[in-house]
Amino acid sequence: MADVSEANERRLDVSGEAGNGSSAVWAIVAAAGSGERLGIDRPKAFAALGGRPLLAESLDRLDRCELVDAIVVAAPPGWEEPCILLAEELAASKVVACVTGGATRAESVAAALAEVPEEALVVLVHDAARPLVDDALVERLLGPLAEGFDGAVPVLPVADTLKRIRDGAVVETVAREGLAAAQTPQAFLAPALRRGFSQELADATDCASLVERAGGTVAVVEGDPRLLKITTTADLALVESLLQAT
Ligand code: C5P
């Protein structure tokens, strides 16, 4: 059973400032992927969505979110300047840095995390590839952190039957019970995220897996089916239609 006194000791107020005048909640936007499967002449973060770069949607939404104090963007190598210009065009004044992303998502997040000051309380890590982030989800994610969890991730139930396959054949049907699909943003107490990132980063497809591996506790909150991850042109078209419907 969880030690209640320890949980209470770790209870924190994640709203507002860190207590020393600095920002409490930082958001990292991982935008350094190449997006090869979109087949365009620029990185995925600059694919057109609703007449502006894909990255604009999540930057705009996180900048307007009252629960977020500051934002760091991990930009595709060579695209740091366009990222800064985009933030300026959007008047996204919470964007404090654009760093050069790495070869993997985890390396990009690590580069951005290095820009987050020691005093930060909470770090949200979000994929630019999931443009339709909203305030309600950010609020849901901060709840478990105030209750003593090291992290929180949004999840959706898995609807399809899952098969483990090898060489074009099914080797196992995986029981769906207890499985869920994880989305971003994912929220963490800053020290727990740093502990996660002090380990080997290879094979980490999300930040929560690193925090879990370092012994951190990660809660789940209800995800959002609109928070689709854009991988193909069909995904772009679908998110575009969701945008127009709002
Ligand atoms: O490639 P994938 O869509 O899985 O990437 C998820 C997110 O991680 C995207 O927003 C992408 O821009 C980001 N990423 C990154 N650095 C990389 C690879 C992916 O920031 N080297």
Distance between CA atoms of 171 and 193, rounded to whole angstroms?
A: 36
> Which structure tokens are listed for 70?
């500051």
The answer to whether 218 and 149 are in contact (CB under 8 A) is: yes
What b/e string do you get for 53-68 counting C-beta neighbours within 10 Å, with b at 16 or more?
Answer: bbbbbbbbbbbebebb
Terminus-to-terminus CA distance in the chain, angstroms?
Answer: 44
- The answer, yes or no, to whether any atom of ligand 1 lies below 6 A from the CB of 125, is no
Minimal-distance CA residue to ligand 1 atom 19: 33
Global confidence as pTM: 0.92
Minimal-distance CA residue to ligand 1 atom 7: 127
CA 104 from chain centre, in angstroms, equals 14
pLDDT given for residue 245 in this prediction: 87
User: What are the pLDDT digits (tens) for 39-63?
Assistant: 899 999 999 999 999 999 999 999 9
- The answer, yes or no, to whether any atom of ligand 1 lies below 6 A from the CB of 32, is yes
User: What are the pLDDT digits (tens) for 182-218?
Assistant: 999 999 999 999 999 999 999 899 999 999 999 999 9
pLDDT given for residue 190 in this prediction: 98
CB atoms within 10 A of CB 194: 19
- The answer, yes or no, to whether any atom of ligand 1 lies below 6 A from the CB of 45, is yes
Q: Give the residue ranges of DSSP H helices in the chain.
A: 4-9, 54-64, 80-89, 105-113, 135-146, 190-197, 207-213, 233-244
Dist. CA 101 → ligand 1 center (Å): 9
CA 68 from chain centre, in angstroms, equals 13
Dist. CA 111 → ligand 1 center (Å): 13
